[in-house]
């Protein structure tokens, strides 16, 4: 009876390792504002719900004997889940980085705000952008696509008992390059605005050196930046959601 129950228990635990590793880093699920106990119960519930569908794929892997091979299987599944979750985290990190750049370029960088995903303080405008991106993930049901991505990952990255380092690093480097370009796309309007407004202030300062232009123009720079932000925030969120959903749909 014990041997009969050992294989399903190991299979469910291997599913728990991959799902837990993924949701440990996935945006929204891994927020520090969500209690640790709630996250643990969520991972257990999802693992139990998905295990019957994934049991045939894990039948051979869960029947291995020996602690060394079992440890390798657990490590492989955990690292696979961490890889998926870390790539998802890169997309939110791109939004967070773009938010910090935007706040700095329009003069809002010194205004403190509450952190949303991490523990480090961030500018209020960057916190607003990060919170909006996280909220849109759940409003547009991308959290359900995350669960579908985890299930589809068993076809794209089948459990083999060992973690393939080279393909994982290639995929990680590719997504790192993609999210870096994404951050530049999100901050591009404000980079152009900052270059133009600073060029205008520099010319004005040369023409009227008696007036402290950089101090007088600060409220106008902030007002102009907020005006640009008001016009572009919808497109910023649309670009982020499109990039994230495109990645989630590739599995």
Mark 211-245 as b/e (b = at least 16 C-beta within 10 Å): eebeeebeeebeebbeebbeebeeebbebbbebbe
pLDDT in tens, 120-144: 777 888 888 988 898 888 888 888 8
- What confidence score (pLDDT) does residue 65 get? 63
Q: With a cut of 70, which residues of the chain have pLDDT below it? A: 1-6, 59-66, 111, 113-119, 161, 251
- What confidence score (pLDDT) does residue 1 get? 42
119/121 Cα distance (integer angstroms) = 7
pLDDT in tens, 153-183: 888 877 776 777 788 888 888 999 999 999 9
- What confidence score (pLDDT) does residue 213 get? 72
CA angle at residue 88 from 36 to 172, to 5 degrees? 125
- What confidence score (pLDDT) does residue 12 get? 84
Domain boundaries, the chain: 2-248
pTM score of the predicted model: 0.86
């Amino acid at each position: 009876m014990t041997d009969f129950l050992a294989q399903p228990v190991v299979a469910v635990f291997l599913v728990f390792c991959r799902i837990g590793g993924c949701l440990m880093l996935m945006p929204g699920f891994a927020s520090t504002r969500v209690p640790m106990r709630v996250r643990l119960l969520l991972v257990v519930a999802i693992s139990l719900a998905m295990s019957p569908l994934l049991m045939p794929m894990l039948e051979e892997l869960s029947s291995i004997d020996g602690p060394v091979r079992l440890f390798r299987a657990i490590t492989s599944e955990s690292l696979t889940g961490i890889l998926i979750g870390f790539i998802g985290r890169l997309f939110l990190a791109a939004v967070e980085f773009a938010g910090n750049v935007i706040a700095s370029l329009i003069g809002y960088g010194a205004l403190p705000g509450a952190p949303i995903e991490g523990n480090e303080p961030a500018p209020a405008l960057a916190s607003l952008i990060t919170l909006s991106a996280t909220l849109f993930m759940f409003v547009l049901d991308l959290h359900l696509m995350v669960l579908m991505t985890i299930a589809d990952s068993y076809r794209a990255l089948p459990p083999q008992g060992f973690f393939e380092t080279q393909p994982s690093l290639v995929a990680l480097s590719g997504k790192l390059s993609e999210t870096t370009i994404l951050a530049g796309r999100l901050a591009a309007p404000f980079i152009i605005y900052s270059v133009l407004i600073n060029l205008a202030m520099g010319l004005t300062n040369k023409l009227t050196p008696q007036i402290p232009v950089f101090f007088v123009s600060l409220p106008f720079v902030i007002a102009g930046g907020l005006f640009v932000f008001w016009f572009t925030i919808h497109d910023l969120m649309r670009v982020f959601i499109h990039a994230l959903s495109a990645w989630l749909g590739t599995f």
